[in-house]
Amino acid sequence: MQLSPRLAVNVMPWPNVAFRASAGKGYRVPTIIERFLTMSLAGFEVMPNPNLKAERSWSYEIGGRANLTQSWYVDLALFQNDFWNMIEPTIDITSNSIQFLNIARPRIYGLEFTSEGRWWHNRLGLDVSFTWMDHKDLVTGKRLFYRPRRIAAIIPSLRLGRSELQVQFNYSSRVDRVQVFPLDERVPRKVWNVRFLQKFPRKKMTFLVEVNNLFNYNYTMRERYLEPIRNFRMGLTGYF
């Protein structure tokens, strides 16, 4: 039997300011797929690994939140995640295979900033999030595969009556390490999405038009696998 204890403390020294701290232990048993899956995937053979060990972790966070107004807050947190026997899919070029293996001692740490604000009687909105992190295997000293070090999202919005326009910018920095084609050019993710919503309260319905990857930016998160190009979505939702 494994226990996963967690301790959290919240302190509010002033009415609009709160601080928090937490620490917790995690435990994850390998799934059946991770241990026994056998299949072909994108030209690779997925190999089973019945000897896969359970993953253990400790996570720590300290942060604070301030309500600048009734409709605007900022939040800043520092975090660290320590892993033992972290389960990761690993590609072996020599045998053209993929197998889930244990990484002995990874550590991921960084800071996270978020803010949400509404102004002008809830007509103007701005949501912002930013994460900076570093990650490495403490045994080898190398960074982990396929992980960016900076992630950001900015979503300004304008609401007039029953209509709302949202613009979303998503950013991820260039990943430091890949497994298959390390010499291929790698670029950061810079994607703009635009969304328009029209509500019909009497009909209890909302009409949506969305353009994803507005500027048709070409990028990959996994080498030689192109992420979605510009695409359009239209929908109508309702409740009864």
CB-based contact 219:188 (threshold 8 Å): yes
Nearest to 184 by CA among 217, 144, 148, 223: 223
pLDDT at position 147, please? 94
> How far, CA to CA in Å, does 11 sit from each of 14, 18, 27, 152?
9, 6, 28, 28
Nearest to 23 by CA among 62, 67, 65: 62
State the number of CA atoms in the 13 A half-sphere of 20 facing the CB.
Answer: 16
For the full predicted model, state whether its pTM sits above 0.75.
Answer: yes
Q: Decide: helix, strand or coil at residue 9.
A: strand
How do the pLDDT tens digits run along the chain, 240 residues long?
778 899 999 999 999 999 999 999 999 999 999 999 888 877 788 899 999 999 999 999 999 999 999 999 999 999 999 999 999 998 888 788 889 999 999 999 999 999 999 999 999 999 999 999 999 999 999 999 999 999 999 999 999 999 999 999 999 999 999 988 888 889 999 999 999 999 987 778 999 999 999 999 999 988 888 999 999 999 998 877
- The H or E element containing residue 35 is helix 32-36
Positive or negative, the CA dihedral 224, 190, 75, 133 is: positive
Nearest to 95 by CA among 10, 171, 180: 180
